[in-house]
Structure 1
Amino acid sequence: MFVEHNTLSNEARVWVYPASRKFYPQEIEELKTKLEDFVSSWKNSKEEFKASFDIKYDRFIIFYAEDNISLTNADIDEQVSFVLTLQNEYELDLLDKMNVSFKQGEFVQYKEIKAFKKMLKEKSVSSKTIVFDNLVQSKYDLEYHWEVPITESWYNRFL
């Protein structure tokens, strides 16, 4: 059942899919409809399954699922299959978790890890640059540990 993501508990599971480009304004409403349709029918369960989504910075698709229902591998596969469909339809990458999303001023950038390492070496970004840890797993972690300085992320090994 689709619910607003802000009504879910802090323990709700999250999956973050970074897009290789911003979604265009004309794509957002259509994308929201597709996401809500998917989330509404995602898991057929006798138990009450609450799930949601969000689009942040016009660049990240985030799925939420209340942690009181166990998700099977088939449920996760269904989500990934849906994301693959979006990836093909919108002609962008959503599944490459090894690329880096980071802030430069008010803008969110997306770079291949190799290019990001070069930027660090050239001091185009610093240890204070905010990166997105797209491997967070709970709503709480998304809120408090998703946007962090490089020094507090796994990217700190490149400093």
Structure 2
Amino acid sequence: MYIPFDRLPPHARLWIYQANRALTETEQAEIKPLLERFATEWSSHGTGLQASARLLHNQFLVLANNESATAASGCSIDKSVSFVQELEQRFGVSFFDRTRLAFLQGEEVKLVGMNEIKEKVASGEIDENTLYFDTLVTNYGELQQAWPRPAGCSWLSRYF
């Protein structure tokens, strides 16, 4: 069962997929109804999930489920991964590249390779106050309160 993204409870579980590039307006317009349809049909062992989905910052696909209504099973999570892989194929984008981190610089999402972090910190391009899109956020409340969050308040704090 689809529920609007902004009506998710704070404890709703999230899965965040970061695209390797910004999605165009045309791509977003095509993807949005696919997300709603997936969330509407998403189920666990035949029981519909209270699910939602949204694109954020032109770069992040977020799937959500109200776990207190019905928990997502391994099979339902596999279905969501397959759905995201289908989107990758259809739109020629990668949502599974974990080697690049996303930062908000001005109004733009900038991707930085993991192998570049020390260099970017040393040059001052990234500091503890640079806003970081932590894709490890696991619930809607955290997404609402601290996403993006200062890099110094994330696992990246060890670099400062």
TM-score by length of 2: 0.91
Deviates more, 1:59-68 or 1:83-92: 83-92
Partner of 1:132: 133
> By how many angstroms is 1:96 displaced?
2.4
Taking the TM superposition and a 5 Å limit, the aligned residue runs for 1:49-60 are: 49-60=49-60
User: Secondary structure at 2:53's aligned position in 1?
Assistant: strand
- Aligned residue pairs, count: 159
Give the superposed CA RMSD.
1.6
Taking the TM superposition and a 5 Å limit, the aligned residue runs for 1:3-152 are: 3-43=3-43, 49-68=49-68, 69-152=70-153
Paired with 2:39 and 2:135, the residues of 1 have a C-alpha distance of 20
Query: Which residue identity lines up with residue 132 of structure 2 in the other structure?
Result: V
> By how many angstroms is 1:20 displaced?
1.1
> By how many angstroms is 1:146 displaced?
2.5
Query: Which residue identity lines up with residue 112 of structure 2 in the other structure?
Result: K
CA contact under 8 A between 2:44 and 2:76: conserved in structure 1? no
Query: Which residue identity lines up with residue 83 of structure 1 in the other structure?
Result: V
> By how many angstroms is 1:60 displaced?
0.6
TM-score by length of 1: 0.92
Paired with 2:47 and 2:92, the residues of 1 have a C-alpha distance of 36
Deviations 1:18-47 (A, max 9, x none): 111111011111100111111111115665
Deviations 1:65-121 (A, max 9, x none): 111212111111111111111122222221123421101111111121112332112
Deviates more, 1:60-69 or 1:95-104: 95-104
Flag structure 1 segments of 5+ consecutive residues without an equivalent: none
CA contact under 8 A between 2:44 and 2:72: conserved in structure 1? no
User: Secondary structure at 2:124's aligned position in 1?
Assistant: coil
